[in-house]
Amino acid sequence: MLFTPVLNEAQKFVLNLFSKRQMHDLSFHNYAHTLQVVQATFEITLNLNIADEQQELILLTAWFHDTGYSITYLGHEEESQKLAAGFLREHGYPEAKMKVVLDDIRATKPSETPQNLLEEIIRDADLFHLSTTGYRSLLQKLRQEWQVYIHKMTSDDKWLQENLTFLLNHQYYTAYAQKNWEPGKKANIRQLQQEIAKLPGR
């Protein structure tokens, strides 16, 4: 893992933020998820031989990309940008570099299409969990979180169908993720298909 003074301070800032009371009900978008995204981001940058300066930018993005949940649930990306900007200005970070971080945070919005390699890296890292063996349990945590924060109540059938559709429509952008994470995602697609086939009435 790349360690620089600003990255070390960012980790402390984010850990403190996620320790606050209003973040405790986040069963999915919590500190563990952020840490997983940071680690996945580093894994990609290491294997794509990304220079240290660029690594720092995208790792800062990974640390801050979900911090906006401390302020709002819907539209959290904009609040994440504000928190990152405040932190980086406080630490005297160059404006040009800060703009890259803020653009990369914006790129985590599902409606956005990545415009460069760094944006592709954070998009892939943010959805690394789609490829993991723990995907199914994480999906349950996301369901619980949505029930609390956006009052989304769905049947098991509809919930599984929605997430199967998401997996089928999802694409990894970087060559590394396509090669190394896509197989795990396909295994999770098969698992959801099998679960759906076993539901009552099927």
- State pLDDT tens for residues 177-201: 999 999 999 999 999 999 999 988 7
What value does the mean pLDDT of the chain take? 95
Question: What whole-number distance in Å separates Cα of residue 22 and Cα of residue 91?
Answer: 25
CB-CB contact of 77 with 68 (8 Å): yes
Q: What integer pLDDT is reported at residue 193 of this predicted model?
A: 97
DSSP string of 30-49?
A: SHHHHHHHHHHHHHHHHHTT
Q: Is 88 exposed, middle or buried (0-12, 13-18, 19+ CB in 10 A)?
A: buried
| Nearest Cα residue to 94 out of 57, 68, 55, 41 | 57
- What whole-number percentage of the chain has pLDDT above 90? 88
| Nearest Cα residue to 35 out of 144, 120, 125 | 125
Domains detected in the chain:
5-197 (1.10.1300.10)
Question: What whole-number distance in Å separates Cα of residue 120 and Cα of residue 182?
Answer: 15
pLDDT higher than threshold 80 for residue 23? no
pLDDT higher than threshold 70 for residue 1? yes
pLDDT higher than threshold 70 for residue 93? yes
Mean pLDDT of 129-145: 96
Mean pLDDT of 1-10: 92
